[in-house]
């Protein structure tokens, strides 16, 4: 990553918090726009004669399909919107500049201990809900 580019991995704590909140709102809007989470609702059909093991296998297979469908939606059908979200990690809010980012550099920031730990713990705490309906998000729509 260009040493001069500010990212979530190297910014000040106040910048980190402000940008993380901006990303949180952008992700909520992104999920609403892309309908990515709707794939989680797809469930396998069970017949009365299925064993518990067959039901578990069907659930695993449906889960794999749902994840594949989510990836198709994020990485293909909504690639430009996904790029805009990823660019926010590097404090970029311009579509043209976002397209110039090196994917490996963005992945490095996402996987930095600081970033991954913060967002993982925030989600585990239940303090962020990706179906955010806060007034601030509603105003942006």
Q: Residue by residue, what is the 3-state secondary structure of the chain?
A: CCCCCCCCCCCCHHHHHHHHHHHHHHHHHHHHHHCHHHHHHCCCCCCCCCCHHHHHHHHHHHHHHHHHHHHHHHHHHCHHHHHHHHHHCCCCCCHHHHHCCCHHHHHHHHCCHHHHHHHHHHHHHCCCCCCCCCHHHHHHC
pLDDT means over runs of 10, the chain (141 residues): 78 94 91 92 93 95 95 95 94 93 92 88 70 45 40
* Predicted TM-score (pTM) of this structure: 0.75
Segments making up each domain of the chain, as ranges = 13-130
């Amino acid at each position: 990553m260009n040493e001069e580019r500010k990212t979530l991995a190297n910014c000040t704590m106040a910048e980190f918090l402000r940008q993380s909140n901006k990303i949180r709102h952008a992700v909520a809007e992104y999920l609403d726009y892309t309908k990515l989470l709707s794939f989680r609702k797809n469930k396998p059909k069970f017949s009365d004669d299925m064993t518990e093991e067959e039901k578990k296998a069907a659930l695993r297979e449906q889960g794999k399909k749902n994840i594949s469908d989510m990836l198709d939606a994020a990485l293909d059908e909504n690639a430009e919107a996904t790029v805009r979200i990823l660019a926010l990690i590097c404090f970029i809010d311009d579509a043209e500049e976002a397209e110039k980012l090196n994917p490996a550099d963005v992945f490095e920031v996402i996987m930095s201990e600081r970033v991954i730990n913060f967002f993982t713990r925030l989600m585990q705490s239940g303090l962020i809900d990706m179906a955010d309906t806060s007034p601030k998000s509603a105003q942006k729509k």
